[in-house]
Amino acid sequence: MRFLALLAVAATTCTAFAADKEMAAPLKKGERIVFLGDSITQGGVSPKGYVTVVKNTLAEKHKDLGIEVIGAGIGGNKVPDLQKRLEKDVLAKKPTLVVIYIGINDVWHGEKDPAKGTSKEKFEAGLKEIIGKIKDAGARVVLCTPSVIGEKKAGANKLDKQLDEYSEISRKVAKETGSTLCDLRKAFTEHLEKANKDDAESKVLTSDRVHLNDAGNKFVADTILATIDK
């Protein structure tokens, strides 16, 4: 029942801003999906990771399509890092769909020293450059908002304000680039408002306030699946 509830939340928190034909396009034969991100995505290829859950679900549901799922996450990555390795780790793999899940480190690394994070201007410009190159290569894009740095409710985590600001940039970029938005930030905060009864810093969807536990991986997978496989 818990996972059914998670799926219900997931289905209501992903919004498509792309052209109608892109929003309605079903997954097709030979689809190659690349997941681009940081350590959360790097860990997503583990046996219970969200990338693996997506891969296994699509393989079971669409046995005839031969969908390929590729993880391209590297720990510590921020938007500028994705810009540097986009060609090698994404475009060279000839994807048809790229799911971008980034933003945590852009905020988190700048907590004590802003120079170690990513400015809002560079975050927005970098996302637009990445998406533009992916679309120029003929692939569709799903852009995820950053999720959480701490699971306390009602903006009680230290970096909630900044995460909300960067999430708003991602929403804006998705709209302006005609990409599909998967609003993980909204999904997490709405779920934690109900599920985190003890107002714990972690252990509901994360293991350490940031990285996903098994329930978090399932939650992210269901949220993304609700976007890419309607």
Q: Domains plus CATH for the chain?
A: 2-228 (3.40.50.1110)
Q: How confident is the model at residue 230 (pLDDT cuts 50, 70, 90)?
A: confident
Which ranges of the chain would DSSP assign to H, the alpha helix? 2-11, 20-24, 39-43, 50-61, 79-89, 104-108, 120-136, 160-177, 184-195, 214-228
87, pLDDT greater than 60:
yes
| DSSP structure class, residue 114 | G
Residue with tokens 């583990």: 46
Residue of 124, 118, 17 lying closest to 77 (CA atoms): 118
More confident residue, 195 or 154: 195
4-26: average pLDDT? 47
**What's the whole-number average pLDDT of the chain?**
91
- Does residue 191 or residue 19 have the better pLDDT? 191
102 pLDDT band, cuts 50/70/90, is: very high
60-83 pLDDT tens trace? 999 999 999 999 999 999 999 999
- Confidence band, pLDDT 50/70/90 cuts, at residue 175: very high
